[in-house]
Structure 1
Amino acid sequence: MNTPSIPVHDDGFLLDLALRLADEAAGLIRAIRARGFETTVKTDSSPVTEADHAAEAHILKGLRAHAPSIPVVAEEEMAAGIRIDTGSEFWLVDPLDGTREFAAGRDDFTVNIGLVRHGRPVLGAVALPAYHQLYGAGAGRGAIRIDANGTQAIHVRRPPAEGLTVLASRQHADDPRLREFLGGQRIAHVGNIGSAAKFIRVAEGLADLYPRLGPTMEWDTAAPQAVVEAAGGSITTMDGAPLGYGKAGWRNPHFICRGAT
Structure 2
Amino acid sequence: MLNKLKDLIKEAGEQLMYFYNYKYKNITIQYKNNGSPVTNIDSIVNKFIMQKLYDIKPNIPILSEECLPEISICKKWEQYWLIDPLDGTKEFLQGIPEFSINICLVKHANPVLGLIYIPFYKILYYSYLGISWKEVYENKKKIYINKSSSCKNTYTIAVSRYHNIIKKYQYMKNIKSYFTLKMGSSWKFGLIAEGKVSYYPRLGNTGIWDTAAGEVIIKSSGGKILDLFNKKLDYSLNNSFINNGFHAFI
TM-score > 0.5 by shorter chain: yes
Correspondence for 1:219: 209
> The residue matched to 1:122 in structure 2 has which SS?
strand
Q: Distance in 2 between matches of 1:229 and 1:91?
A: 19
Correspondence for 1:254: 245
Match of 2:171 among 181, 189, 199: 181
| Matching of residue 18 in structure 1 with residue 2 in structure 2 | no
| Structure-to-structure mapping, 1:52-201, within 5 angstroms | 52-78=42-68, 85=74, 86-140=76-130, 142-147=131-136, 148-157=139-148, 162-173=153-164, 176-178=167-169, 180-201=170-191
User: What whole-Å deviation, never above 9, does each CA across 1:13-43 have from its counterpart, x for those lacking one?
Assistant: 2x33332221111110001111144241134
Shift of 1:164: 1.4
Shift of 1:200: 1.0
Structure 2 contact 91–99 (Cα < 8 Å) conserved: yes
Change (3 A) 1:46 1:165: same
Structure 2 contact 83–102 (Cα < 8 Å) conserved: yes
Change (3 A) 1:114 1:161: closer
Change (3 A) 1:228 1:61: same
Q: Distance in 1 between matches of 2:117 and 2:52?
A: 16
> The residue matched to 1:170 in structure 2 has which SS?
coil
Correspondence for 1:241: 231
Shift of 1:125: 0.9
Q: Distance in 2 between matches of 1:87 and 1:30?
A: 33
Q: Distance in 1 between matches of 2:236 and 2:162?
A: 26
Structure 2 contact 150–194 (Cα < 8 Å) conserved: no
| Matching of residue 32 in structure 1 with residue 22 in structure 2 | no
Deviates more, 1:208-217 or 1:182-191: 182-191
Q: Distance in 1 between matches of 2:29 and 2:52?
A: 26
Structure 2 contact 159–181 (Cα < 8 Å) conserved: yes
Structure 1 contact 21–59 (Cα < 8 Å) conserved: yes
Root-mean-square deviation over aligned CA pairs = 2.1
> The residue matched to 2:106 in structure 1 has which SS?
strand
Unaligned 5+ residue runs, structure 1?
Answer: 1-12
Aligned length: 242
User: What whole-Å deviation, never above 9, does each CA across 1:50-109 have from its counterpart, x for those lacking one?
Assistant: 32122111110011122011110011112xx67753512111100000100111110111
> The residue matched to 1:203 in structure 2 has which SS?
helix
Shift of 1:139: 3.4
Give the share of equivalent positions with the same residue, in percent. Answer: 31
Shift of 1:150: 2.2
| Matching of residue 202 in structure 1 with residue 189 in structure 2 | no
Change (3 A) 1:174 1:232: closer
AA paired with 1:42?
Y
Q: TM-score, normalised by structure 2?
A: 0.89
AA paired with 1:29?
L
